[in-house]
């Protein structure tokens, strides 16, 4: 029986963005599945898929048929320049078109398989929170009823923004003016403000990857701030984008890094081209002031 091994040489967000498609493939194809990547295996703990290593697989190869194993590249960069609609975007609408090619390849390779893509808006990734350690987050939200703002303030790894700092000055200034709200950051920094918290203080886990737990925490946050990288990617889920009370604010170099770009969603999505930290500071401050 020919097995399927997905592979990806890049980052956690690259693994996350294809999860809904991969779940659909796993449901429709009767075979064994593996995922070869360099990230912590825990990043895909909520999926029934075996992690494996990446020896000798070219990062730009779209697929490789090894006879007993069919290798499928899930990195969007491998599909740029091949005439796919929305070429060059790091968006769901490009990912949707990319997986149309992948579904065709699978249908041709596995007799009796006839997968057809559904509407693009049905493929926002989701985390199976039933398989996530929610204890720390539940304690936190149960003990602190204040409105919550989440900052994905770690470094970007794919050039999403020329500013790559931790946003400390922004977070501290706004938090000092809103003691009735709690500000949660994914990267630690020194602070004396009691209404600034850090995800590693909230989340109970020791698997070396807390992105799924941060995703769960984000469901309790009114405003999510980031640069289309890292934990921010894990907050753009079907649960959150369908919440009309939630606002996403992303800043950076390219709007086409916004996964939800071009798709109508109930949540509010704001992208701001980065020109200065002062402009970002003002925009976030205005959004926080609107939270009641």
What confidence score (pLDDT) does residue 44 get? Answer: 94
For 160-169, the pLDDT digits (tens) are: 888 889 999 9
Average pLDDT over residues 98-123: 96
Quick one: 165 and 44 in the same domain?
no
Quick one: 102 and 137 in the same domain?
no
Q: Which two tokens stand for residue 291?
A: 């939270």
Quick one: 74 and 181 in the same domain?
no
List of residues 6+ apart from 243 with CB closer than 8 A: 219, 266, 267
Sign of CA dihedral 110, 111, 113, 114: positive
For 47-78, the pLDDT digits (tens) are: 989 999 988 889 999 999 999 999 999 999 99
Average pLDDT over residues 274-284: 96
Q: Name the pLDDT band for 229 (thresholds 50, 70, 90).
A: confident
Quick one: 139 and 98 in the same domain?
no
Q: Is the Cβ–Cβ distance between 232 and 160 less than 8 Å?
A: no
Q: CA nearest 149: which of 121, 174, 114, 113?
A: 174
Q: Which domain holds residue 83?
A: 3-123
Mean pLDDT of the chain: 95
Quick one: 110 and 135 in the same domain?
no
Q: CA nearest 37: which of 29, 27, 47, 28?
A: 47
Please list, residue by residue across 72-81, b when 16 or more beta carbons sit within 10 angstroms of its beta carbon and e when fewer do. Answer: bbbbbbbbee
């Amino acid at each position: 029986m020919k097995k399927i091994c997905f592979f990806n040489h890049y980052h956690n967000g690259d693994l996350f963005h294809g999860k809904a498609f991969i779940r659909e493939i796993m449901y429709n194809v009767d075979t064994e599945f593996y995922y070869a990547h360099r990230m912590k295996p825990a990043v895909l703990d909520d999926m029934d898929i075996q992690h494996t290593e990446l020896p000798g697989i070219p990062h730009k190869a779209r697929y490789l048929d090894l006879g007993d194993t069919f290798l499928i590249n899930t990195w969007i960069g491998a599909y740029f320049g091949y005439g796919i609609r929305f070429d060059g975007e790091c968006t769901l609408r490009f990912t949707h078109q990319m997986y149309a090619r992948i579904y065709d390849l699978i249908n041709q390779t596995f007799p009796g398989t006839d997968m057809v893509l559904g509407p693009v808006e049905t493929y926002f990734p989701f985390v199976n929170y039933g398989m996530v350690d929610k204890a720390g987050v539940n304690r936190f939200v149960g003990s602190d009823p204040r409105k919550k703002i989440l900052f994905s303030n770690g470094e970007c790894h794919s050039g999403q923004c020329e500013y790559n700092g931790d946003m400390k000055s922004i977070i501290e200034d706004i938090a000092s003016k809103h003691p009735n709200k709690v500000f949660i950051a994914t990267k630690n920094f020194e602070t004396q403000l009691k209404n600034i918290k850090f995800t590693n203080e909230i989340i109970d886990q020791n698997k070396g990857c807390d992105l799924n737990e941060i995703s769960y925490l984000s469901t309790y946050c009114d405003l999510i701030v980031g640069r289309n990288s890292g934990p921010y990617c894990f907050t753009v889920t079907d649960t959150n984008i369908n919440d009309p009370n939630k606002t996403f604010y992303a800043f950076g170099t390219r709007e086409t890094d916004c996964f939800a770009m071009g798709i109508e969603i109930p949540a509010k999505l704001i992208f701001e081209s980065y020109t200065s930290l002062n402009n970002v500071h003002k925009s976030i401050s205005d959004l926080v002031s609107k939270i009641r």
